[in-house]
């Protein structure tokens, strides 16, 4: 049976970038014109000395200069917390996580705000899903606030992003905690004569804002007005307002929360390309209507994740959750895959590319582990030949220069992964007997991996074992079975049964298990399968029972203690960064 959670591709008012975002615009009639997020294929050869970002507002590369020297303020549209996070959510989170990491690498002090849209879950459920009506009804019967369902998915989202080594934003406001700020902003917009009220609804008058369409390229002279506040219908959850009971529209929320934490002037606003119109276009209109001095300097948008070159969506059933992927692939492999293309380019989901990324992560951590072993085994400081020292310095300088140039050139992570970083890792493998060279190159490699978010807090050996465990799972084997096959192959070679020996190796390689002779001992490691693996079908049948189980858990917890509005205990609006 298909879960109602797999059907939410209808209006999709919020959501985040990438695979299944919808486009926060079901309350805005008419078709939008969304600019293409093109990535120029030509590579720059000269060194890029300062950070340049592609600004969707002007459709061109611009040198990054924050409003306040040394400080960066950034707001990114977060997820609608109605389900477990998918690859589109992950790509957006990782894209802006890398930007934040690089800004910190450049010694900027970063204030990063990313919201949760937690109230819209109730309306999606009420209007579109019969199963959801039952869940809301049961929630009420058990004395559970339906918003707890959304808070549950907020928490699960953070678990997934933590697994992918995304650092927590400075602030993570939830819409339900900011209704007062939203109402205040709507009041300002009305008082400034940019909006009007009709029977409890409040609409933005687009014709009052001449620059409407500048971000998206929307060419209509007077697109239909969009809602700032919607009057409540019978039986709906609602909030009191000067215009009567109702709820916020689907665009005002981000305007109010970004202004709450960053004021009406800040540096960067990010999100998925499908948010350019109408959501971000409407944000600009709202911001300027509330405060004529409003200014956001840089608008950044990441590309979609696609499946067979078609945008992933739940209605098509071609999406994958983060957990479905990390069940079979290491989270670092998924992160590597998601930064293996430029963040603005579309990224096609591919098992072959996931296998390649998994192999790359294994190579990185095996190199680091071999380096650690080599450095710990040196008994004395041996002098190195000048040629070796010069080679190490050349390797380090090339890595530093390429890293700076490519990251300054609108975060070209994919070039770094396949270029100087790979060369530096190869140099390390060739230099295990040279302590000074090895140590210097290793330090620079670790710094690059840190900015890319590919350096785990676990030991190298632990990550390698996790990668091996995932490979065994994909192969449908246990380590005991692999070791048994190694013994059988060893015996076959003793018996000169080379055909059997070759067949065992070939069969294992086809499943992603490579055999190697190391110090007269046969060992195994993960490898790219010689035969393509078949993707597992996406199953969503288990998700409704999980929500039901969560309802029961929440009901019990609420009887034991009152659940505060802020689950982190950091105030009513946000949690602290890590």
Q: What is the DSSP string of 495-551?
A: TT-HHHHHHHHHHHHHTTEEEEEETTEEEEEE---SSPPPPPPP--TTHHHHHHHHH
Question: What pLDDT, on the 0 to 100 scale, is given for residue 118?
Answer: 87
Question: What pLDDT, on the 0 to 100 scale, is given for residue 85?
Answer: 92
**pLDDT for 160 beyond 70:** yes
**H-type alpha helices, 247-385:** 252-262, 281-290, 322-326, 331-338, 351-377
Question: What pLDDT, on the 0 to 100 scale, is given for residue 417?
Answer: 97
Question: What pLDDT, on the 0 to 100 scale, is given for residue 310?
Answer: 82
| CA distance to 77, 278, 337, 354, 462, per residue, from 474 (Å) | 35, 42, 17, 12, 19
Token code pair at residue 22: 């919808």
**356-400 pLDDT, tens digit each:** 999 999 999 999 999 999 999 875 566 788 899 999 999 999 999
**pLDDT for 137 beyond 70:** no
**210-263 pLDDT, tens digit each:** 899 999 987 655 667 999 999 988 777 789 999 999 999 989 999 999 999 999
Q: The pTM is what?
A: 0.83
**pLDDT for 26 beyond 70:** no
Token code pair at residue 105: 């690498």
**455-488 pLDDT, tens digit each:** 999 999 999 999 999 999 999 999 999 999 999 9
Share of the chain above pLDDT 90, in %: 67
Q: Which residue has the tokens 């300097």?
A: 297
Question: What pLDDT, on the 0 to 100 scale, is given for residue 190?
Answer: 98
| Overall average pLDDT of the 63-84 stretch | 94
């Amino acid at each position: 049976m298909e879960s109602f959670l797999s059907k939410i591709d209808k209006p999709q008012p919020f959501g985040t970038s990438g695979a299944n975002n919808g486009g926060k615009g079901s309350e805005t009639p008419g078709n939008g014109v969304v600019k293409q997020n093109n990535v120029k294929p030509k590579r720059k050869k000269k060194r890029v000395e300062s950070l340049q970002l592609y600004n969707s507002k002007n459709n061109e590369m611009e040198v990054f200069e924050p409003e306040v020297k040394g400080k960066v303020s950034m707001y990114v549209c977060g997820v609608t917390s109605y389900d477990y996070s998918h690859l589109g959510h992950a790509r957006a989170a990782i894209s802006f996580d890398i930007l934040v990491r690089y800004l910190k690498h450049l010694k900027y002090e970063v204030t990063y705000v990313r919201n949760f849209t937690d109230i819209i879950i109730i309306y999606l459920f009420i209007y579109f899903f019969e199963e959801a009506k039952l869940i809301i009804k049961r929630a009420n019967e058990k004395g559970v606030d339906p918003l707890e369902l959304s808070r549950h998915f907020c928490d699960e989202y953070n678990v997934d992003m933590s697994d992918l080594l995304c650092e927590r934003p400075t602030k993570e406001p939830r819409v339900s905690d900011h209704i007062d700020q939203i109402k205040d902003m709507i009041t300002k917009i009305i008082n400034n004569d940019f909006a009007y009220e009709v029977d409890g609804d409040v609409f933005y008058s687009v014709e009052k804002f001449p620059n409407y369409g500048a971000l998206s390229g929307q060419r209509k002279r007077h697109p239909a007005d969009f809602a700032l506040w919607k009057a409540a219908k019978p039986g709906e959850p609602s909030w009191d307002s000067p215009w009567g009971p109702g709820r916020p529209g689907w665009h005002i929320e981000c305007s109010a929360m970004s202004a709450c934490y960053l004021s009406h002037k800040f540096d960067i606003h990010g999100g998925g390309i499908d948010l350019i119109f109408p959501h971000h276009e409407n944000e600009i209109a709202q911001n300027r209507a509330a405060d004529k001095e409003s200014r956001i300097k840089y608008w950044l948008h990441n590309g979609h994740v696609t499946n067979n070159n078609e945008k992933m969506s739940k209605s098509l059933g071609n999406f994958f959750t983060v957990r479905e992927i990390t069940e079979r692939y290491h989270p670092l492999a998924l992160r590597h895959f998601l930064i293996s293309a430029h963040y603005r380019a579309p990224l096609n989901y591919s098992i072959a590319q996931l296998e390649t990324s998994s192999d790359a992560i294994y190579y990185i951590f095996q190199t680091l582990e071999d380096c650690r072993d080599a450095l710990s085994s040196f008994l004395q400081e041996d002098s190195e030949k000048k040629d070796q020292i010069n080679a190490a310095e050349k390797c380090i300088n090339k890595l530093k220069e390429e890293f700076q140039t490519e990251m300054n050139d609108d975060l070209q992570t994919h070039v770094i992964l396949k270029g100087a970083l790979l060369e530096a890792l190869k140099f390390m493998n060739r230099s295990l007997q040279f302590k000074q060279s090895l140590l210097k190159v290793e330090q620079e490699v670790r710094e690059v991996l840190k900015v890319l978010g590919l350096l785990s807090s676990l030991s190298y050996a632990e990550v390698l074992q996790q990668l091996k465990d995932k490979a065994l799972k994909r192969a449908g084997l246990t380590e005991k079975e692999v070791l048994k096959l190694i013994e059988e192959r060893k015996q076959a070679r003793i018996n000169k049964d080379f055909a059997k020996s070759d067949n065992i190796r070939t069969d294992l390689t086809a499943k992603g298990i490579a055999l190697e002779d190391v110090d007269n001992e046969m060992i195994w490691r993960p490898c790219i399968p010689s035969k393509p693996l078949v993707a597992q079908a996406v199953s969503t049948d288990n998700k409704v029972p999980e929500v039901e189980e969560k309802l029961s858990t929440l009901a019990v917890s609420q009887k034991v203690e009152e659940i505060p509005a802020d689950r982190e205990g950091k105030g009513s609006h946000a949690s602290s960064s890590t």
